[in-house]
Structures are given as structure tokens and as C-alpha cells.
Amino acid sequence: MDPLYLIALGACVAGFVQGLSGFAFGMVAMSFWAWGLEPRLAASLTVFGSLTGQLIAVFTVRRGFSWRLLWPFVLGGLAGIPLGVWVLPYLDMLWFKAVFGTLLVLWCPLMLLAPRLPRVPGNRLADGAVGMVGGVLGGIGGFTGTVPTLWCTVRGFDRDTQRAVIQNFNLSMLAVTMLTYLGTGVVTSAMLPWFGVVALAMLIPTVLGTRVYLGISEAAFRRLVLGLLTLSGIAMLVASVPVLLGR
């Protein structure tokens, strides 16, 4: 597929999902972009698109702010971002697909089972460790919300509290990650036109997603999205694992 259409399609679908759920732009976009874009470009576009979506959400879906809940995640995330950025240039595309596909296959079914998972007690240290993992994944490619979202779910946060934590955590982590990418040269001038494509393609779908979140139950949409992402992860593993085993 032509890179223009691939980037636009991924941004459009991912923007809607992020508007609906408050996270997951990177997971959805990468399920498209990992097939045809080199990892550094895909990661840069993912961070940019995720940050753009969070900024849109700030003005369309406001779910409060609790610094008491948020600060351990943020401090942990700030410690994790440099590790993720350091790893990024060394990524091999096949290994990238294999690892990302494994993440999808493991994480998405867990989220589908989340309502039936036992609630676990948490503390600030555990929240910080989870934030650090989110920061590492954010530095690699903007996946800041995956592990913290699962953690908030198993801790039993209600929907609006979870969205407030994840939305504000993602916004702060993605902003730092984008600045780090710019400062370390990960983002190049050649990528800027593709940033414009992402911004234009995701704008309306993201706003529509936030409207759906405000007006319709999120549960059925979450099941559908997570099911599709699980299938995407399986497809990535099928495409990458046999080649890796044959090396």
C-alpha cells in the first residue's frame, strides 16, 4: 500500500479509537504502520498522533484531575522514557513486529478479561513502577497507556477516574517523549509532511470518538477494538516469527 494511504488510514482509525477510549492510538496505528513503515518513522508518527489526540481530548472530554493519584505514574514514566528512546534506534523490524505482536496478543485478551480479573491492592510504589513501564513503551513508540490502563482496571478504578489518570498521564508522557525525539534527532525534517497527514486524517475521527464516548456505552466498542487488535497481533506474529526462526 502507498505510504500516504497507509499513514492516513492508520491515523483515521487510531484517532477514533483514542477519542473513544482515551488511549490506544499507538496500539491501533502501529497495527497498520508496522507493516510498511520503518520503526523510527512509525514511532515518531505514533507519538505525534497520540499527543495530538490527547490535546483534542483535553478540550472535549474532561474527567477531572487528581495529582495525588497521578504523580507516581508521572515520576515513573519520566524515568522510563529515556530507556525507551535509547532502545529505539537498535530495533530490528522483524523483531519489532514479533515483540509488538506478542504485546497485542497478550495484552488485549487480558483487557477483555479485565472485568472478571480479581481486583488487586495498589500503592504509590507499584503505580510508579507501572508508570515506568509506560514510559519505556512511550519512548519506543508512544504506547504509554497500555500497561497503566490495564493496571488501573485491575485496581478497580471507575471509568471516569481511570480516564482522568490515563488521559493526564499520557498527555504528560507524550509531550516529554516528543520533546526527547526532537532533541535527540529521532524526528527529522523529512518526517514533517507525514505529521501533517496524521493530523489532518485523525482530527475529525478523534472528535467523533469523543462524542461516542460521551453518548454511548464504551464496553461493546472496547470488546470490538481489542478483538481486532488481537487478530492484528496474531497476523504480525505469523509474518515475523517464521522468518526469525529461519535466520
Q: How do residues 100-135 score in pLDDT, each as one tens digit? A: 889 889 888 877 776 666 777 878 999 999 999 999
- The pLDDT, as a whole number, for residue 194 is 96
Distances (CA, A) of 53 to 9, 64, 173: 15, 17, 13
Average pLDDT for residues 94-104, to the nearest whole number? 84
Residue 184 CB: number of other CB atoms within 10 A? 13
Do 30 and 108 meet the contact criterion of CB atoms below 8 Å apart?
Answer: no
pLDDT tens, position by position, 13-51: 999 988 877 777 887 888 888 778 888 898 899 989 999
- Choice between 216 and 170, residue whose per-residue pLDDT is larger: 170
Domain regions of the chain by residue span: 3-239
pLDDT computed for residue 112 by the predictor:
79
Q: What is the mean pLDDT of residues 225-238?
A: 81
Neighbours of 239 (CB within 10 A): 15
Q: What is the pTM of this model?
A: 0.77
pLDDT at 113: 76
pLDDT for 168 equals 86
pLDDT band per the 50, 70, 90 thresholds, residue 230: confident
The yes-or-no verdict on residue 152 having pLDDT over 90 is no
According to the model, what pLDDT value does residue 192 have? 94
Q: Is residue 62 a contact partner of residue 90, using CB atoms and an 8 Å limit?
A: no
